[in-house]
Structure formats: C-alpha cells, structure tokens
Amino acid sequence: MALLVQKYGGTSVGSVERIDLVAAKVAAARERGHQIVVVVSAMSGETDRLLKLARSVDPRPQPRELDQMLATGEQVTIALLAMALARRGVPARSYQGWQVAIQTDQAYSKARIRNIQTERLLADCKAGTVPVVAGFQGVDEAGNVTTLGRGGSDTTGVALAAALKADECQIYTDVDGVYTTDPRVEPKARRLDRITFEEMLELASLGSKVLQIRSVEFAGKYKVPLRVLSTFQEGPGTLITLEEHSMEEPLISGIAFNRDEAQLTVSGVPDRPGIAAAILGPIGEANIEVDMIVQNVGADGTTDFTFTVHRNDHERAVEIARRVAQELRAKGVRSAVDIVKVSLVGVGMRSHAGIAAKMFRVLAEEGINIRMISTSEIKISVVIEDKYLELSVRALHKAFDLAESRIV
C-alpha cells in the first residue's frame, strides 16, 4: 500500500464526463489498496473566463481581489470531484487552500507555499476518505486568499506529496509523458521513460509545458518521485527521479523551446562595476522575471547588456530600461519580440566536450543566425529569429539522434 498524491489538470477535469473519468481512476487506485490524495485544477478555460471577467471591470485588477476570484475555479472542481467520488461509493471531502491549510506568503498571483498542515488530510486517509484539494491556491497569514500563479496546481501536488511524505506524486495531464521535444514541432519526438530533476528543470523552465518549473524544484528539493502521465491513455508515463542515467545513455535528453520571451539590449553602457545591478534592480522591483542575461564587452569602454523577459512584460521592461539607460548615460535600448529560445538539455553533456560546437554548426548549416547564447552545466540555449523555430528543432533532433530508442 502506497500513499499517492494524484494531480489532475484542467483538461482532465474539463467536463462533467471527464470529472467522472477522474473519479473512476481515483476509485481504481484506491481499490488497488493505495491511499490517495487528489489535487485538481480549474476546469479548462475557467481561469481564462474569470480573468477576462475581471479585466472587463478593470484592465489592471487589484491583485488581492483577482486571487480571491480566481480561487473559485478550483473550488468548483474539488466539490464536483468529491460529489462524483461519493456517487461511486468512495467517501471524499473537498478542501480549499485555507481549509487544509496551505499557508503561503502574501505575493498575490505568485505566492509561495510556506507550510502545509497535514492533520486533516492524514486523518482522512486513515479513515478511508479521499481528500480532494484545490490546487493553485493558498492562504496568507492574515487570512487572504492567494494563488500560486499559472500551473500552480502542480506545485500544490508536489508540496502536498512532500508534506505528506507520499510515495509518489503523479501528475495527470493530456500528454503521456515527457518527450525529447514538442511532437507538434517534430513528429519523431520520443517519450522518455525517465529523466533527472535537473534535466526536467531545464526542460520546464525552457518552455516544455508539461510541468510547472516550481513543482520540479520542489520535487527535487524534497526528493519526491514525480511521474507525468496521461489521464486518457494507459501507460507508465515519465518518471522524474534523482537517479543519474547509465553510462550508455546519449548526451542529450531533449530540445526545449520558448516562444514567450522578448529580448532587450541596453547598448553603450559605461563598462564599470554595478551596471548589471543598476539595470536589473528596477526590473526586479517591478516584479518582472528575467530569464537569459548576457553581457558583451565593447571596444570603447562601454558594454552591451542583453536580457530576456516574458513577452507580456516586454513593454513595461522597455519603459524601465529606457529610464535606467538615461540615468546611466547609455546609448539606448533595443528590443525584439519576434524571437524564440531553443535549448539542448542533457546531464550527459557535463562530461562531453563539443556539444555546443556541434549545435552551432548544425544551425549554421541551416543558415540560422544566432542572436544570443547562454549555457549552463546541462543545457545550451540560443535565441534565434522565431521563423526558424521548426527548422532548428528538427535539425537538432536529427543531429543528436533523439528519435532513436535508448537504454534507460
């Protein structure tokens, strides 16, 4: 008998019929002798509907009120799933974030979980009742409702699994695992049986939409075995673990890409200490997340400072960068949104030289110009013009033999 946290996403609970399918899956897992704690998202489309409603009242709605409202999406699905379970003879109780309680800080719309009380959930499990917990939401110290940001239900699932010391956190979604790249871009993409947390972290942060990055961070930190699998299709999914790959494995696990970024360059900045902080400080204060950061040394004692932000934050970021550029007596600010970031990821590349060179050669052979490069121990990212996305992904997928089956 294992204690499993099962998280079902928006498409998995997108209709009454699908909620009943989820109830059947939960009931079956319970039949097999497992203790189940369920986490659900809002019905697909519901969060967007609520957002639109809020924005029709105020284009920039009050963050506290927006969270108060968005939390209703999950509140509806937890109740419906608990009803569907009860109808199948499975005792179930729904819990909003504050009822568990899932305690967070006060950063509305991107709150972080501080603590989870487990007494009620453990008591339910012991009594044979299935707790159905609202994902994506929590409560701050003052009793305000907070939300964890897009995809936050994954984080809820993993955090619950960690707090409950669950045997596995199973993330049910509409794909049957983690692939070498997006099959919509490269039909030869292949499902991975397992992948390390580090690789998954790079894949998630770089744009593979399967899991929210924070949930993987959490899972890695608390050593929660994480499994991605499909609600609609039987199969083992992809297990995300601490274990390293075997020696025979290939260098690269997957190719990620991200179309949601914008690139900003502050050019002709006097090259002296503190420049990076002077530019990124105000960006951070405006709660804009920065992804890639590259600084080039120029010839005339000045430097070009380039970074990427989420495309939604592009205009605000440019506004701030212009102000800072003026204060720093920089030459100016350039920006671009017609870009895409493509990344190779693999723990194998740690011990192998020449991966970067091969990547750049493949892109050059296709006539693709690289605008920006950034590397870490297990990934290499390039920013290129967005029209080259498919071409670059397919060329890299082929060059690194990702369609071949491999020993795992």
Q: Does 117 bind a second copy (CB under 8 A)?
A: no
As given in the structure block, the two tokens for residue 321 are 């960068």
What distances in angstroms separate CA 403 from CA 91, 179, 203, 233, 400, one per listed residue? 45, 10, 17, 22, 9
User: Distance (Å, rounded) from C-alpha 386 to C-alpha 168?
Assistant: 38
In the complex with a second copy, which residue's Cβ is closer, 26 or 255?
26
Q: How far is the CB of 16 from a second copy (least distance, A)?
A: 5
**CB of 120 or CB of 322, closer to a second copy:** 120
Q: According to CB under 8 A, which one of 51, 79, 185, 370 is a site residue for a second copy?
A: 79
Q: CA–CA separation, 251 vs 348, rounded Å? A: 4
363 phi-psi bin (left φ>0, alpha ψ -120 to 50, beta other): alpha
Nearer residue to a second copy within complex by CB, 130 or 393: 130
Residue numbers 118-157 binding a second copy by CB under 8 A: 143-145
What is the rounded CA–CA span in Å between residue 303 and residue 296? 6
Distance CA(336)–CA(314), nearest Å, equals: 9
Least Cβ distance, residue 313 to a second copy (angstroms): 21
Would you call the peptide bond into 101 cis, given omega within 30 degrees of 0 as the criterion?
Answer: yes
Please name the helix (run of DSSP H) or strand (run of DSSP E) that holds residue 301, with its range, or none: none
Asked whether position 20 contacts a second copy by CB under 8 A, the answer is yes
Count the helix, strand and coil residues of the chain and give each as a percent rounded to the nearest 5.
40, 25, 35
Binding characters for a second copy, 45-64, by CB under 8 A (x = yes)? -----x--xx-xxx--xx-x
Establish if 65 lies at the interface with a second copy (CB under 8 A): yes
Alpha helices in 228-270 (DSSP H): none
66 binds a second copy (CB under 8 A): yes
**For a second copy, which is the closer residue by CB, 76 or 294?**
76
Q: Which of 7, 25, 30, 93 forms a contact with a second copy (CB under 8 A)?
A: 93
Per rule CB under 8 A, is residue 27 in the interface with a second copy? no
Of residues 21, 24, 86, 107, which one binds a second copy by CB under 8 A? Answer: 86
CB of 20 to a second copy, least distance (A): 7
Q: Determine which residue in the list 21, 24, 51, 99 makes contact with a second copy, applying CB under 8 A.
A: 99
* Half-sphere exposure of residue 298: CA atoms within 13 angstroms, side-chain side: 16
Shorter beta-carbon distance to a second copy: residue 139 or 201: 139
Distance of alpha carbon 378 from alpha carbon 383, whole angstroms = 17
Name which of 75 and 156 has its Cβ closer to a second copy: 75
Q: Which amino acid is at 93?
A: R
CB 96 within 8 A of CB 137: yes
For residue 156, the minimal CB distance to a second copy (Å) is 17
Select the span of 79-87, 181-189, 205-213, 244-252 touching a second copy (CB under 8 A): 79-87
Using CB under 8 A, list all residues that contact a second copy: 16, 19-20, 50, 53-54, 56-58, 61-62, 64-66, 68-69, 71-72, 75-76, 78-80, 82-84, 86-87, 93-94, 96, 98-99, 143-145
